[in-house]
Structure 1
Amino acid sequence: MMISRKIYSFLILASILLCINSIGFAQQQEKPNVIFIIVDDYGWMDVGAYGSEFYETPNIDKLAKSGIKFSNAYTASPVCSPTRASIMTGKYPSKTYNTDWFGAPQPWNYQNHWTKNKPLIPAEYSPNMALEEYTLAEAFQDAGYKTFFAGKWHLGETAEHWPEHQGFDINIGGTNRGGPYGGNRYFSPYDNPRMENGPEGEYLPLRLAQETASFIDSHKNDPFLAYLSFYSVHTPLMTTEELELKYLRKRAKLNLTDEFEPEYANKNRTTQAHAVYAGMVEAMDTAVGLVLESLERNNLLENTIIVFFSDNGGLSTAEGSPTSNLPLRAGKGWLYEGGIRVPLIFSWKGQIPEGIENNSPVISMDFYPTLIELAGLNDSFKGNGEIDGFSLSPLLQNQSGAIARDALYWHYPHYGNQGGNPGSVIQEDGWKLIYFYEDNRSELYNLKTDIGERNNLILVETEKADYLKAKLMNWLRNTKAALPKPNIKS
């Protein structure tokens, strides 16, 4: 039977439209997904792939082998909230005035705090990430991504500043709390206003991973950004009886003991031998494995960018001093390397080289422009003012790649709960100068030869010190950084 010319033309047109729609759908599916995993208080040496011999992290180690491990990755702050804000905004905390953990004492309340007899009154800070900031999540949301958050938020004192108002479609557990401080803490019931209680005794890191895996299962056909923000391994130190017993036996088998060096305001742990902390690390690693399994189950590994990071250095000088960051000096709350250098892994199967270690200095503000670029959102990106991060794309694509940044900066004008003092830092080409506000004193280290910051060169490399200090002071002025003030006692 002959087909009329009109019917034939219609069929041709329909075929063309079907092809166009199919191509459009294929292109939509080619948008890479993003899994961003951030661990709380997780130290540079807390990963097997970074050298730990006591903690067991097979899933994170596997992730490191599948991508690029950065050995000189930094947080924007030695405490949590400022770093978390820097990831979301791409800006230095000194610019957004998010310089301390949200809930820390403000200068007008210092007389009622343990800092009241210190030489300085800490600088004022903003206890909320401003809603005016165009967050990383909002950029992905506006580009058509499904956005999901699970875990610790700690970027706003009140509910209007929580994840669902900062670019996330779904918020599981993200509130103003800096730790799992409700209910039975790390075990259900949690009494968290943004997460239903699970069965009694359910362990929080596994619950957060299961929620993330369920989101992936439900959105495997949509481009998505899933931000898994563990409360682990923040205090309180709590793990299962089974895991604690496992590491008590391992500790005894290895004949490990608790060892400390007393030169800090609090004792600094020098051995990784804390059984409860080790159990928390393993549980978190198991949770990471659940998320990776969900990607494999849904055949999404080749179309998913995975980032693994920490919000500050390991807790080694206070609150039980559960971990050691050696060879790095000090830990959380300090401006030495132990407080700001952390593990960072990028993995994207088929797109990023596998099993590579990169020693380029990178920092938490860099995630913002990097993920925007890798996801191909540059053309639709609305911008977020003048961001401070640099795209790491050249480092991810080529081992000899480089970025055009000349220096890194830190500004922490507060007293850390862990013993650290108000200070600012500049690092350039391996030289690191720390300026302390209490006594206007500087320390200078060459990290290329002295990663442990044991040899202060301030009286030897005077020209280098003068140059770096002048550059640091200029940066502080340009960013209008808030400064501590003398505590003039009546």
Structure 2
Amino acid sequence: MPAKVTRREFLGAAVGTAAASTIGYAAPRSRPNVLFILADDLGYGDLSCYGRPDYQTPVLDRLARQGIKFMSAYAAAPVCTPTRCAFHTGRYPQRIAVGLQEPLTRASGTDIGLPPDHPTVASLLKGNGYDTALIGKWHLGWKPEFGPNRHGYDEFFGVLSGAADYFTHEASDAPGVSSGTGKDLWENLTPIERTGYLTDMLSDRAVQYIEKPRSKPFYLSLHYTAPHSPWEGPEDAAIGHTEHGAGPMIEGGSLKIYAAMMKNMDAGIGRVLKALERANLERNTLVIFTSDNGGERYSYHWPFSFQKFFLWEGGIRVPAIVRWPGIIPAGRTTEQAAITMDWSATILAASGTGAHPEYPLDGENLLPVCTGARAVYERTLFWRTRAREAARNGKWKYLKDSDEERLFDLSIDPGEKTDLKKTHAHVFDEMKKQYLSWNAGMLPRPVG
């Protein structure tokens, strides 16, 4: 049965629709299709519309011009698994055991994954009459009960592990493979053999999915593995799989290869968006693009500090673009603070789908901000890893790293260079208090 819409969600949607009408943007005539695109290890400045100087991403630049570009969007974590847990559930990853994995690896064991009874964006949309598909990376468990098909996805095509070779489709963390590598390409619950460059394969499958005849609206989650290592462009088949451990990747690649990977993903997204246009679905499809965390060694993070794995801005600030023709005005940017779970809440609200009452969302519906019905507003966001913690409220950011606590004013110091905890002790104390209160409601950090 369709999930019930709460009074709060109904009123929020009604306000958003009314305001959209007053500014000349008509309300949708039917539930929209949803295309959610998630890049992997894409740094804040890795799109040319966000400042990348050495290559161009014309498709995503155009998408930004057609919708709204978020300048203060964040990932829920600085690494893959917890952010993906946050998106699928709409909740802080620290509420669920698999969300504490940084990231999930073979060493974590095969008995941990996203619980099969936990509602997800896909299961809620499916219950509300949507066709659902995940194409790309899962990284939330290997056993069938932890996989995409048990979490509301009618179809799955992609990889279960954290990374795979772009040509051989081998993964260093493929489950049950004692040598440490194994094929990791799946069609639903069946391992398959295919030939091709993985980014192209994901783009092509997404095009096929959009062009299928159907009588229901669709939700397509397209989770690229690019530009995550191994760094292999579409012409680099001879390079071979590069192993890496739990820390930052330190082998292989170059700026030239990274550019080739990015331009290939950008072109693939272009083919997917063109399929929407050919199918006459463009105007009734909500498109959201973002990344699962900050970038790695070849990413462009300016003006931010550090990268993936860290809670400094370079590890969690990510690009985010939202397009819905006729509903979201084109050519806008916003400083609204956003986090991964907000995209979950926004998708559910746009589709008229309510959250499960026993699993309240931590994300907020940002559609009113996107349409202009609501002004930018302040809110408090939280992060926690095994070794670090952070919170942001308005311009202020509390950060604890290497047991040292700091306070930054991001409005004048986005690079987090000047610690203000002594000169603004009252702000520091309040931010830390808010963090400790939030943390008390989360699962404890893993031991060891």
TM-score range normalised by the length of the shorter chain: 0.7 to 0.9
1:350 and 2:326 aligned: yes
Distance in 1 (alpha carbons) for counterparts of 2:321 and 2:263: 18
- Residue of 369, 372, 389 corresponding to 1:424: 389
- Give CA-to-partner distance per residue, 1:351-398, whole Å, 9 cap, x none: 1110100101010111222111111224xx544512211111220121
- Residue of 306, 309, 312 corresponding to 1:333: 309
Match of 1:464 in 2: 427
Output the TM-score relative to the length of structure 1. Answer: 0.75
Do the aligned residues in 2 keep the contact of 1:163 with 1:174 (CA within 8 Å)? no
1:305 and 2:305 aligned: no
Cα pair distance change 1:384/1:340, threshold 3 Å: farther
Do the aligned residues in 2 keep the contact of 1:102 with 1:155 (CA within 8 Å)? yes
Cα pair distance change 1:220/1:46, threshold 3 Å: farther
What SS does structure 2 have at the residue aligned with 1:410? Answer: strand
Distance in 2 (alpha carbons) for counterparts of 1:426 and 1:180: 33
Do the aligned residues in 2 keep the contact of 1:328 with 1:452 (CA within 8 Å)? yes
Could you tell me how far 1:429 is from its partner in structure 2?
1.3
Distance in 2 (alpha carbons) for counterparts of 1:312 and 1:219: 35
Match of 2:40 in 1: 40
Alignment of 1:132-281 (within 5 A): 132-175=117-160, 177-181=161-165, 184-185=168-169, 192-194=185-187, 196-199=192-195, 202-219=196-213, 221-241=215-235, 274-281=255-262
Match of 1:392 in 2: 366
Distance in 1 (alpha carbons) for counterparts of 2:86 and 2:141: 14
> AA paired with 1:192?
L
Match of 1:360 in 2: 336
- Give CA-to-partner distance per residue, 1:319-343, whole Å, 9 cap, x none: xx22231211111001000100001
5+ unaligned residues in a row in structure 2: which ranges? Answer: 1-26, 172-181, 239-246
Alignment of 1:104-119 (within 5 A): none
Alignment of 1:425-440 (within 5 A): 425-436=390-401, 439=403
- Give CA-to-partner distance per residue, 1:274-307, whole Å, 9 cap, x none: 0001100001101100100100101100110000
> AA paired with 1:230?
Y
Match of 1:103 in 2: 105
What SS does structure 2 have at the residue aligned with 1:147? Answer: strand
- Residue of 452, 456, 463 corresponding to 2:415: 452
Distance in 1 (alpha carbons) for counterparts of 2:117 and 2:248: 39
Distance in 2 (alpha carbons) for counterparts of 1:309 and 1:342: 7
Could you tell me how far 1:484 is from its partner in structure 2?
6.1
Distance in 2 (alpha carbons) for counterparts of 1:28 and 1:426: 36
Do the aligned residues in 2 keep the contact of 1:134 with 1:383 (CA within 8 Å)? no
Distance in 1 (alpha carbons) for counterparts of 2:166 and 2:39: 19
Could you tell me how far 1:475 is from its partner in structure 2?
1.3
Cα pair distance change 1:35/1:354, threshold 3 Å: same
Do the aligned residues in 1 keep the contact of 2:335 with 2:376 (CA within 8 Å)? no
Distance in 2 (alpha carbons) for counterparts of 1:277 and 1:224: 32
What SS does structure 2 have at the residue aligned with 1:454? Answer: coil
Do the aligned residues in 1 keep the contact of 2:104 with 2:139 (CA within 8 Å)? yes
- Give CA-to-partner distance per residue, 1:133-184, whole Å, 9 cap, x none: 1100001111111101111000113222111111000000142x10115972
Cα pair distance change 1:191/1:73, threshold 3 Å: closer
**Identity across the alignment (%):** 31
Distance in 1 (alpha carbons) for counterparts of 2:193 and 2:264: 19
Do the aligned residues in 1 keep the contact of 2:72 with 2:317 (CA within 8 Å)? yes
Could you tell me how far 1:231 is from its partner in structure 2?
0.9
Match of 1:119 in 2: none
What SS does structure 1 have at the residue aligned with 2:346? Answer: helix
- Give CA-to-partner distance per residue, 1:179-231, whole Å, 9 cap, x none: 115972389x96524364334xx211111111111111114543000110001
Cα pair distance change 1:242/1:166, threshold 3 Å: closer
Match of 1:117 in 2: none
1:323 and 2:319 aligned: no
Match of 2:266 in 1: 285
Distance in 2 (alpha carbons) for counterparts of 1:310 and 1:210: 20
> AA paired with 1:232?
A
Do the aligned residues in 1 keep the contact of 2:73 with 2:337 (CA within 8 Å)? yes
Cα pair distance change 1:242/1:161, threshold 3 Å: closer
> AA paired with 1:460?
T
> AA paired with 1:302?
R
What SS does structure 2 have at the residue aligned with 1:241? Answer: coil
What SS does structure 2 have at the residue aligned with 1:434? Answer: strand
Could you tell me how far 1:408 is from its partner in structure 2?
0.5
What SS does structure 2 have at the residue aligned with 1:324? Answer: coil
Do the aligned residues in 1 keep the contact of 2:28 with 2:327 (CA within 8 Å)? no
Match of 1:261 in 2: none
Q: Larger Rg: 1 or 2?
A: 1
What SS does structure 1 have at the residue aligned with 2:132? Answer: strand
Could you tell me how far 1:53 is from its partner in structure 2?
1.7
Do the aligned residues in 2 keep the contact of 1:28 with 1:223 (CA within 8 Å)? no
Distance in 2 (alpha carbons) for counterparts of 1:283 and 1:398: 33
Could you tell me how far 1:132 is from its partner in structure 2?
2.0
Could you tell me how far 1:104 is from its partner in structure 2?
7.5
> AA paired with 1:214?
Q
**What is the total number of aligned residue pairs between the two structures?**
397
